[in-house]
Structure 1
């Protein structure tokens, strides 16, 4: 049985929903069923923070918590805003969360949180060296973990690929939009991951996003020199990673 010392709390802010739950930090699993509330519209920092407070109150959580956000996050300041209100740009978002919720808050990029969770509890299995998580969805999110330490805000989905922003060519949304078969999409992913490999020389690539569930169908068409495996924590990775980072007291 987990003690309070073994528990953390994670919130995952997305464009359509805000999800949260306490996390068992020994097992790397949600300690209770998560609560989801639709993202308020407009999704201003104050409105989102109020929704976060409702989720924390639902569980009676009063301690520090971690919170993912679909943006570049530098020391609690959100520098970009993807699928949320532009008023987040250059805001002290962690400060807003602390003021509205009355709890200490750590804010982290959503892909970064997922990457930390996959290395600590998921597919990467505490692998040392350079681990790259790439989430293939509407865009391409990335997290770079070196010997267990997060290198934040890599944003590798925005590398140039064939004269385009990489995620517009190789994300799962591009596959659906252009009705690409697995071989054609695999060829694009090969070019993308080869580009990343030549820059970073990772020891392991973990692929997340919904399409990771179909890894066996498309991965044979992706040729990389680095071992590539599917993520295992899926939709819970962000909550778990955010809770872990907050528990460690890390500041981004």
Structure 2
């Protein structure tokens, strides 16, 4: 997905599937922001493909209204997604594994649907309209939450499904020690947690040599408590779009793929 790609349509629909809620909005592709109210519906239990697809269809109908026909629809999914197919499942039912998510949601909504990993969608949004806008070279976007999501972009092009939070560092899956959930679970001080983040980001620096690192997730609202404690050669900044990023990024990618540059 090229940062320079443009679409004829000024709007698209973005939907963000999460473990607790399914959220969507009409997105202004020029401004990089919502073009209407965000709609949220609880994620069904169990979160099987048919049940989730029904809710996604309701969200798309609610945010698109009478004008939804012809709009591109992008959907984030908490999994590794290869060519529309879920290869893992995080916070959704395991029956999604091996399912063609794009086909299931397309059938339910009546739209061609593009599906991508949730962290990847957030990364695209930050690269187009947020903290990494107009940054050339290698951009690494990470989301610190229950786990660690990652998105890697090279000159605005997404390298999908990097899953860098699962790197083994010092004998541990990185996110088990450096995610925000680890800070809360172990009652770490900001300084203690920053040491773990320092180790994590230092390894990523040596692997990828990024030009910019962007840190998202809910804890990024408190970035002043931990980012200044890090000593990295790479500039590291907080995300700007926060909880809007997934919806915006999904809409952007879907629109760009429907109307290539």
TM-score interval for Structure 1 and Structure 2 normalised by the shorter chain: over 0.9
Q: Distance in 2 between matches of 1:244 and 1:207?
A: 20
1:44 match? 48
Does structure 2 conserve the Cα–Cα contact (< 8 Å) formed by 1:161 and 1:169? Answer: no
- Count of residue pairs brought into register by the alignment: 248
Alignment of 1:208-219 (within 5 A): 208-219=216-227
- Among candidates 60, 78, 81, match of residue 70 of structure 1: 78
TM-score between the two structures when normalised by the length of structure 2: 0.93
Does 2:230 align with 1:225? no
Is 1:56 aligned with 2:60?
Answer: yes
**Structure 1 unaligned residues grouped into runs of 5+:** none
In structure 2, the partner of 1:189 is 197
Give 1:24's aligned residue: 28
**Runs (5+) with no aligned partner, structure 2:** 1-7
**TM-superposition CA deviations, 1:37-70 (whole Å, max 9, x none):** 0001110111111101001111322232000001
Runs of at least 4 residues off by over 2 Å: none
Q: CA deviation at 1:15?
A: 0.3
Aligned match of 2:3: none
Structure 1, 171-180 or 216-225: larger mean CA deviation: 216-225
In the alignment, the residues of structure 1 paired with residue 201 and residue 37 of structure 2 have an alpha-carbon distance, to the nearest angstrom, of 35
Q: How far apart in 2 are the matches of 1:49 and 1:112?
A: 21
- The answer to whether the Cα contact below 8 Å between 1:72 and 1:80 also exists between their aligned partners in 2 is yes
Is 1:200 the counterpart of 2:200 in the alignment?
no
Offset at 1:96? Answer: 0.5
Contact 2:72 2:258 in 1 (8 A): no
> 1:166 & 1:23 partners in 2: Cα distance?
34
Helix, strand or coil for the counterpart of 1:91?
A: coil
Asked if 2 retains the 8 angstrom alpha-carbon contact of 1:106 and 1:250, the reply is no
Larger mean Cα displacement after TM superposition, 50-59 or 132-141 = 50-59
Aligned-partner Cα distance in 2 for 1:82–1:130: 27
1:75: Cα distance to partner?
Answer: 0.3
**Structure-2 separation of matches of 1:21 and 1:46:** 21
Is the contact between residue 131 and residue 204 of structure 1 (CA under 8 Å) also seen in structure 2? yes
